[in-house]
Structures are given as C-alpha cells and as structure tokens.
C-alpha cells in the first residue's frame, strides 16, 4: 500500500501498478461498452484485489494507534540499551519519522564470548523470538553463485550482517513483554561478556 498527498505521484503509482495501462479494468469495461486503452510505460502487476483493498482500508483506521504502540515498545528498548556497552543502536531518521517496524540491535562481538547466532539461540532458550533484518545480499547463495561474491568483498555490510538482531516488536506486545525481552537480552549479554 502506498499513501501520498501528491496527485502526480498517485497517478504514476496507479499507472505503474497496473501494467502501465492507461485505464484499469473498471474504466475499460463500462455500461457503454469497451473503452480502448494503451500501455503507456512498462509497468507491473501490483494492483490489489478488492479484498486486499478492503483489509487495507480497515488497517489504515488502526495505523496511528498501532504506530503509537510500537513506538512505546521501541522507546522501552532504547531506554534499556542506549548506553549499554555490548550493543549499539541505529539512529532514528533526522528528516523523517520512523515507522517503528523493527527494533534492531548491533552486538559488540569483540566484547562477547559468543557469536550473533549463538546469542539468538540463547534468547530462544529464554523464550524470546528474534529475527535478522537483514542479511547482506552478497551473502546469499544466489549472489555468491551468480557473481562470485565472497563474504568480505563488502566488509561493512558483512560486519554489520554478522552482528544485527531484530528484537520482538508488534502491535500486540505489552510493556511486560518488552521488559521480559530486555531482561533476557541483559542476562545473556552479561553472562557472555568477555
């Protein structure tokens, strides 16, 4: 779903999302009969079904409430980890507003006796599910095989990709859930501190 107040952007998005065709199906087949259309630019099949649109419209009504819920969890995480010596946080955008889709920490592996994957396993043992957002593209098999990329061809991306962990974050999380995550992260970090 794309939301914009700019009519020129909306018009282009609609055009590109419907194969680049000048008229969508509703405008091509009217009560007066078929209306000719043409492909103006190469586009994509990104138009939604009516069911997807109705769900999307309903979700939009919850957008601000859900955003506030996620922001609250992110603020709890930030407060807990901002000055932690074993993790780094990513900066919020200066000229924008975070969607609070993810909360990613970056482990200071030089100060830990475990790898990122071992850290994730330890959190799993504490009943905390995590993710990795995102593994650097050059580390994926397709790109390695197609282009011959090696792990350290892009050292910054490789380094970051080995250290990041996405903590649990959802609209349904409660403060207690975030506190349990914080406690588990701190427990593991302190246990495996060098």
Residue 142: the pLDDT is 94
Q: Could you tell me if residue 1 is inside a domain?
A: no
Residue 61: the pLDDT is 93
Q: 19 and 72 share a domain? A: no
Q: 56 and 69 share a domain? A: no
Residue 73: the pLDDT is 98
Q: 123 and 106 share a domain? A: yes
Alpha helices by DSSP H, listed for 62-161, are 63-81, 116-125, 141-147, 155-161
- Beta carbons of 106 and 119 less than 8 angstroms apart: no
- Beta carbons of 136 and 160 less than 8 angstroms apart: yes
Q: Tell me how far apart the alpha carbons of residues 130 and 161 are, in angstroms, rounded to a whole number.
A: 15
Domain count across the chain:
2
Q: Tell me how far apart the alpha carbons of residues 177 and 168 are, in angstroms, rounded to a whole number.
A: 9
Q: Tell me how far apart the alpha carbons of residues 54 and 49 are, in angstroms, rounded to a whole number.
A: 9
Reported pTM: 0.80
Residue 191's nearest CA partner among 121, 137, 142, 144 is: 121
Q: Could you tell me if residue 126 is inside a domain?
A: yes
Residue 14: the pLDDT is 84
Residue 25: the pLDDT is 60
DSSP state of 91: P
Q: 54 and 67 share a domain? A: no
Domain that holds residue 141: 63-191
Both tokens assigned to 65: 């409430």
Alpha helices by DSSP H, listed for the chain, are 7-17, 25-28, 50-61, 63-81, 116-125, 141-147, 155-161, 175-191
Q: Tell me how far apart the alpha carbons of residues 188 and 190 are, in angstroms, rounded to a whole number.
A: 5
pLDDT digit of tens for each residue in the chain (194 aa)?
788 999 999 989 888 888 888 766 655 565 666 667 788 888 888 877 889 989 999 999 999 999 999 999 999 999 999 999 999 999 888 888 899 999 999 999 999 999 999 999 999 999 999 999 999 999 999 999 999 999 999 999 999 999 999 999 999 999 999 999 999 999 999 999 99
Residue 78's nearest CA partner among 171, 178, 188, 180 is: 178
Residue 27: the pLDDT is 59
Q: 120 and 186 share a domain? A: yes
């Amino acid at each position: 779903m794309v939301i914009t107040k700019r009519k020129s952007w909306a018009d282009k998005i609609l055009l590109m999302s419907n194969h680049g065709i000048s008229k969508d199906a509703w405008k091509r087949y009217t009560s007066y009969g078929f209306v000719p259309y043409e492909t103006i630019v190469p586009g994509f099949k990104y138009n939604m079904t009516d069911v997807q649109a109705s769900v999307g419209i309903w979700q939009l009504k919850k957008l601000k409430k859900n955003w506030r819920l996620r922001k609250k969890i992110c603020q709890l995480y930030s407060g807990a980890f901002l000055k932690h010596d074993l993790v780094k946080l990513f900066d919020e955008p200066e000229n924008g507003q975070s969607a609070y889709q993810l909360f990613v920490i970056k482990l200071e592996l030089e100060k830990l006796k475990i790898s990122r994957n071992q850290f994730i396993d330890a959190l799993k043992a504490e009943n905390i599910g995590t993710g990795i957002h995102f593994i650097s593209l050059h580390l994926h098999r397709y790109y390695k095989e197609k282009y011959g990329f090696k792990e350290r061809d892009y050292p910054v991306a490789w380094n970051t990709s080995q250290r990041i962990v996405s903590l649990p974050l959802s609209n349904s999380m409660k403060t207690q859930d975030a506190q349990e995550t914080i406690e588990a992260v701190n427990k593991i970090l302190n246990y495996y501190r060098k």
